[in-house]
Amino acid sequence: MEALPNQMQIAWIAAGGCLSRALATAAGLGIADIMDGGPLPHRTLAERTGSDPDVMLRLMQVLAMGGVVESDEDGAFAMTEAFTALRADHPRSLRNFCILMGEMYDDAFGALPHTVRTGESGFRHVFGVPLYEYLETEPEAGRIFDGAMSELARPVVAALTERHDFSAVRTVVDVGGGDGTVLAGILARHPHLTGVCVDRTSVCARAEESLRAGPGHRAVGRVTFHPADIFEEVPAGGDRYLLKNVLHDWSPEMCVRVLTAIGRAMRRTIEAREPGLAPPRLLVLEPLLDREPDAAHVLFQMVMCGKDAGGLGESDVRRLLQRAGLVPVHVERLAGGHHVFECVPATEEAE
């Protein structure tokens, strides 16, 4: 019996996990990079990836159903223009992001019923530890995670450098800055700047090699990696402090802790400076998640980190800043959706 339209819609949504896994598998095998030279038969793809040819054919057919690839009259497959960002060398690549979402994060989402019932992290329920603890012990997962975060960060950095004036800044400190992608993007636009990237020890250990091999290689020598627990201590000496996409991963108490640590660093910087020099400022970059269309992103955050990390609105961020003794002097929405809260310590509130 022919399926009714609403049944087709239900079936397609129900099968979405299959397509997500297929996309992640293709990304992991480097299919888009292999296809960069033009259409290839499935047997060639199987040979070049060390895969079973019969299964590779079905994988390509599933991807074709999702518009990822298309086949020609000879049965060879080619990447569609809309999915060329699966290539590793694409300037807006999403290769690592697709692997992250379709594999580790999809595994965690298997515990969605647990999160719905309890409000607790589905990731922790599946993997036994919180997300960042897991990344400490799984180097390959950490590499994919770092790559995915870098891919998502690049358009945000481009939007920030278009809007924010760094001309009077000398040192930028990125708190929770991962592999240095954000700093490298800012420094590429401003050759007079130096940067300090503060993150977990394991992240910093692999970050410099990643920076040298990636698009940010021009910033090598101007970026220093500083291992630290950002909830306890942040280095002083910055003219601009950055905190991008950190707050929405944590409970309000943890958010206040990292903001307070940054505030202490800013105050130490002020105390050590000569009178008359401009005080440091903090730029908090967050995708505000307080509208009904943000529900999917908010639910995702809850599964990863628990219901306390279920997204922030502007009023939420302002409350966190106030609790940490910080004052937003300017708030702006960037192209792409992120908001920037430009902040000073309460005692240094701008006129």
What digits encode the pLDDT tens for the residues 303-348?
Answer: 999 998 878 999 999 999 999 999 999 999 998 889 999 999 997 5
Please name the helix (run of DSSP H) or strand (run of DSSP E) that holds residue 30, with its range, or none. Answer: none
**Shortest CA distance to 155 belongs to which of 81, 245, 250?**
245
pTM attached to this predicted model = 0.87
Q: Assess whether pLDDT exceeds 50 at residue 1.
A: no
Distance CA 301, CA 319 (A): 20
Q: Report percent pLDDT > 70 for the chain.
A: 95
**Cβ proximity of 248 and 294 under 8 Å:** no
Distance CA 177, CA 93 (A): 19
Q: Assess whether pLDDT exceeds 50 at residue 132.
A: yes
Q: Assess whether pLDDT exceeds 80 at residue 276.
A: no
Residues identified as active-site: 248
**Shortest CA distance to 320 belongs to which of 257, 256, 264, 254?**
256
Q: Assess whether pLDDT exceeds 90 at residue 10.
A: no
Round to the nearest angstrom and report the end-to-end CA distance of the chain. Answer: 72
Q: Mean pLDDT for the chain? A: 91
The pairing of strands 339-345 and 281-286 is antiparallel
Backbone angles phi and psi of 260, in degrees to 5: -65, -40
pLDDT digits (tens, 9 = 90+) for 165-209: 999 999 999 999 988 989 999 998 999 999 999 999 888 888 877
**Shortest CA distance to 153 belongs to which of 237, 51, 66, 244?**
244
Q: Assess whether pLDDT exceeds 60 at residue 350.
A: no
Q: What is the pLDDT of residue 218?
A: 66
Distance CA 305, CA 87 (A): 30
Distance CA 311, CA 294 (A): 9
Q: What is the pLDDT of residue 216?
A: 58
Q: Assess whether pLDDT exceeds 90 at residue 110.
A: yes
